[in-house]
Structure formats: C-alpha cells, structure tokens
C-alpha cells in the first residue's frame, strides 16, 4: 500500500545554482514518511507514547534530475520490506507537472524501545506490527 505526499519547493531549499540542495531530498522523504504514519493513525507521538521508536539506520538515494524553486514534488512512499525488527521504505519523487523522476531512494529503519534497544515489533506490539505488515507492498508475479 503506497502513500502519495505532495509538496512545493521553497526558495530557501535551493542552492546558489537555483536547484534543490541534495540534502533536502532526505528531508522530503522524512516528511512523506511522517505524513504517511499520521495518515494511518501511527503518528510518531503515538508510537513513542507506547515505547516504540523507529530510528533511521540507512539512507540510499539516486538523484535523476534536479528540482527547482516552485516545482511541486509528488512523493510516492511504500514499504519495501518489513520483518518486525527492520523496515525499508522506498520513495519515488516526481515532478507533478511533467512526471519527470527527480529521485528514487529508500530509508532503512529498525524498531527500538525507549532505551533504544532493538525490539521485535511482532512480539512487543502485535497491533502496531499488523499495521506495518498491512503497509508492505505486495509483489505481483
């Protein structure tokens, strides 16, 4: 199950060349992931109130084209992998007007308790685990 997040590029996110600075795309992935979790009633605050955190343990991006001030970016996010201990979220960012792909990427996460010790969400919180399992993108054969 994928999630679509839309945002407009702000002027302050661009560099001297007038394009979005590469580090901002990682922020955009975070925004999309946060909005997605809120959309399924799994806001970070809810998770944290229940003793669960989801730190980022890896980021991988392939920049395909640059975005500029005023562009509207469509970010498709989907869960590529979920084991109960780890999760990978994949992203595709495109230009709303042209459909051109700006970036493909993924973030890797683990689940931890409040003390940042790894947990198996399937055992720790079966209810939360089920929600993450439902996000897993089904591969079609």
Residue 125: inside a domain:
yes
Per-residue pLDDT of the chain (141 residues; tens, 9 = 90+): 899 999 999 999 999 999 999 999 999 999 999 999 999 999 999 999 999 999 999 999 999 999 999 999 999 999 999 999 999 999 999 999 999 999 999 999 999 999 999 999 999 999 999 999 998 866 543
Residue 34: inside a domain:
yes
pTM over 0.85: yes
Distance CA(80)–CA(86), nearest Å, equals 11
Task: Look up the domain containing 128 and give its range.
Answer: 3-135
Number of independent structural domains in the chain: 1
Residue 113: inside a domain:
yes
Supply the CATH number for residue 15's domain. 3.10.129.10
CB contact burial 53-72 (16+ within 10 A = b; e otherwise)? bbeeeeeebeeeebbeeebe
Residue 141: inside a domain:
no
């Amino acid at each position: 199950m994928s999630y679509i997040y839309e945002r407009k590029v702000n002027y302050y996110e661009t560099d001297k060349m007038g394009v979005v600075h590469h580090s901002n795309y990682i922020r955009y992935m975070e925004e999309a992931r946060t909005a997605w979790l809120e959309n399924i009633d799994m806001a970070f605050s809810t998770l944290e109130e229940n003793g669960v955190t989801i730190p980022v343990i890896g980021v991988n991006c392939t920049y395909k084209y640059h975005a500029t001030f005023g562009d509207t970016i469509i970010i498709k996010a989907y869960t590529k992998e979920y084991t109960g201990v780890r999760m990978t979220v994949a992203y595709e960012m495109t230009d709303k007007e042209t459909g051109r792909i700006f970036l493909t990427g993924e973030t890797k996460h683990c689940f931890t308790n409040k003390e940042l010790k790894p947990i198996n969400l399937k055992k720790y919180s079966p209810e939360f685990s089920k929600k993450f399992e439902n996000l897993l993108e089904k591969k079609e054969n």
